[in-house]
Structure 1
Amino acid sequence: MAVFSGLLYGLLALFLLYLLLLRCKRRLRRWPLLTQYRYAHRGLHDEAAGIPENSLTAFRRAAEMGYGAELDVHLTRDGRLVVIHDSDLTRLCGVSRQVEEMTAAELSGLRLRGTEEPIPFLEQVLPLFVDRQPLVIEMKVARNSVQLVDALCAALEGYRGDYCVECFDPWALYVLRLRRPDCIRGQLSKKFAGDKHVHPLVGFLAGNLLLNWLSKPDFIAYRYGDRRNLSLRLCRKLYRVQEFSWTITDAQQQKQAEDGGATIIFEGFLPQ
């Protein structure tokens, strides 16, 4: 009996620790503004129409049609913030180089997906959404989390628009929490099993939101196809955390996500 009791107490302690690791913050007072919008993934891009992802035209289009926008920021070698998804420029610009290795001047000469669209700087995108819809800004970290966070905080100083910041890296969100505790932060995550770029242990911890104790997120941005994850469901039920669901690609997914209370990040169709 003593062995059974000890085992039971041990399991209970582990479960309580699990719940503590999942703990999120809540900023319910500011959520109505951010959750009333739907967010165009990398802007309202349309490859067939010659509007590449994360381009100024894609962001203008989203703003003009009443959508918020999700965008990605990298830090250049000389400390500028550029809006582009991939660190490797091969897919988007046909150049086998890394964003973080290049200067702003070098990147300015490149064009997106065979169009005349340049890679935008963050300061070019921000004014498009002032007094309009909010932005979801994803930090793309490449072993430069402190420098990236500091550059982003400087860029957003005095910005009059509404925004929140998300990242896969909980350390970067921790640094952001120290620098700007008032900034709404989101922990990006998904099921990492089979991802060759992520160590299995790190993938397990991150995919099950067991690093929330470090990032203390105000919301969870979780991949739509992995939304049945137990940790995500516990965060929603126990901590009432807001969920952002990515990437929604049709009306049926939109309905399922929004019926479950999620805010959507979408592409490939126009939500109604």
Structure 2
Amino acid sequence: MFGNFGKIAATIGLDIIILLVVYIFLIYGDKKDTDETEWLTSTKFAHRGLYSDDGMIPENSLEAFDKAIENNYGIELDVSFTKDKKTVVFHDDNLLRMTGLNKKISDCTLEEIESLYLNGTDYKIPTFNEVLDLVDGKVPLIIEIKSNRDRYGLCNSVKNELNDYNGRFCIESFDPLIMSRIKKNMPDVIRGQLSMKFTKDNKAPKSLKVALEYLLLNFKSRPHFIAYNWIDSNNLSLRILRKLGIITVAWTVNSEKALEVSNERFDTIIFEHCEPLK
């Protein structure tokens, strides 16, 4: 009887080891030499630029990016695709919140976009090229590629516009397929997987939300860093990856409490409306 028990226990133990190995294989990223990533971990990044709480300096505007440069902060920004395949810097899928126009950005041409104003100010939605010309390598960039019905076209456009850019930058996305394309087409670029604990309001299938939340699709792109919502910093996969030496980035840090937690549990931060430790 005891001999059979020992065999069963050994089998269970082997199964657990196999599951653990598979789990690590799925979530593991990639590591570059420290001298290649030091700029990322030593920089604090202004979320959508150093925009004002009252919206008079709007998020993802040239003025917000200029303010970040003035204060020597890195910049996190979002790139989207217009109907006519032009790359612009804008966060939301819909233009309503920031411009008052209830229309998807992917349904608008660049000409339509250029007629809009951000938050009722004099600032407009910039093109990606305009932002690159403004920053011109003065501070590092985290470029988030938004998921899009033409995700691969957007990836190719970003690649082409970055070809002649000499500043430091990395690319991140919530979409593992986008990051997989970046790995294939821009293998030397530092890439990051964005994630968080997804709520019930998110309409994605539960199985996909679990896979994304626990970074189980990392095997598709082998990200160099994980950008994770600081509130969800106890995520098991995130904690394991940091122990294994994968860089972690906290978003969006916006209070003293968030700063305290993020400085302890992450390698660097993306912040807004607070003064991070330099």
Q: Give the structure-1-normalised TM-score.
A: 0.96
- Unmatched segments (≥5 aa) in structure 1: none
**Structure-1 separation of matches of 2:31 and 2:135:** 25
Q: Which residue of 2 aligns with 1:19?
A: 24
**Structure-2 separation of matches of 1:195 and 1:60:** 35
Q: Deviations over 1:216-235 (max 9, x none)?
A: 10000000000110000000
Instruction: Note if contact 2:53-2:273 (Cα within 8 Å) is conserved in structure 1.
Output: no
> Is 1:80 aligned to residue 107 of structure 2?
no
**Structure-2 separation of matches of 1:74 and 1:228:** 31
Amino acid at match of 1:254: L
**Structure-1 separation of matches of 2:266 and 2:85:** 38
1:246 equivalent among 229, 232, 251? 251
Instruction: Note if contact 2:233-2:265 (Cα within 8 Å) is conserved in structure 1.
Output: no
**Structure-1 separation of matches of 2:157 and 2:239:** 34
- Unmatched segments (≥5 aa) in structure 2: none
**Structure-2 separation of matches of 1:111 and 1:44:** 18
Q: Which residue of 2 aligns with 1:50?
A: 56
SS of residue in 1 equivalent to 2:54: helix
Q: Which residue of 2 aligns with 1:268?
A: 273
Q: Which residue of 1 aligns with 2:10?
A: 5
Q: Deviations over 1:142-184 (max 9, x none)?
A: 2222111100000100101111000001111001111010111
> Is 1:101 aligned to residue 101 of structure 2?
no
> Is 1:168 aligned to residue 174 of structure 2?
yes
Instruction: Note if contact 1:74-1:139 (Cα within 8 Å) is conserved in structure 2.
Output: yes
2:206 equivalent among 197, 200, 209? 200
1:209 equivalent among 215, 222, 225? 215
| Larger gyration radius, structure 1 or structure 2 | 2
SS of residue in 1 equivalent to 2:251: strand
Of residues 167-176 and 40-49 in structure 1, the stretch that sits farther from structure 2 once superposed is 40-49
Of residues 172-181 and 195-204 in structure 1, the stretch that sits farther from structure 2 once superposed is 195-204
Amino acid at match of 2:268: T
SS of residue in 2 equivalent to 1:73: strand
- Structure 1 position 141, deviation (Å): 1.3
User: How many residue pairs end up in the alignment?
Assistant: 271
Instruction: Note if contact 1:111-1:118 (Cα within 8 Å) is conserved in structure 2.
Output: yes
SS of residue in 1 equivalent to 2:85: coil
- Judged with a 3 Å threshold, the aligned counterparts in structure 2 of structure 1 residues 102 and 136 are, in CA distance, closer, same or farther, namely same
- Judged with a 3 Å threshold, the aligned counterparts in structure 2 of structure 1 residues 48 and 203 are, in CA distance, closer, same or farther, namely same
Amino acid at match of 2:39: L
Instruction: Note if contact 2:250-2:266 (Cα within 8 Å) is conserved in structure 1.
Output: no
Q: After the TM superposition, which segments of 4 or more aligned residues of structure 1 sit over 3 Å from their partners?
A: none
Equivalence map 1:120-199=2 (5 Å): 120-199=126-205
- Structure 1 position 25, deviation (Å): 0.4
Instruction: Note if contact 1:73-1:137 (Cα within 8 Å) is conserved in structure 2.
Output: yes
Amino acid at match of 1:39: F
How large is the Cα RMSD of the aligned pairs? 1.3
> Is 1:90 aligned to residue 96 of structure 2?
yes
1:65 equivalent among 60, 67, 71? 71
Q: Give the structure-2-normalised TM-score.
A: 0.94
Q: Deviations over 1:96-154 (max 9, x none)?
A: 11111111111000111111110111111112222421010000012222111100000
Equivalence map 1:206-245=2 (5 Å): 206-238=212-244, 240-245=245-250
SS of residue in 2 equivalent to 1:95: coil
SS of residue in 2 equivalent to 1:210: coil
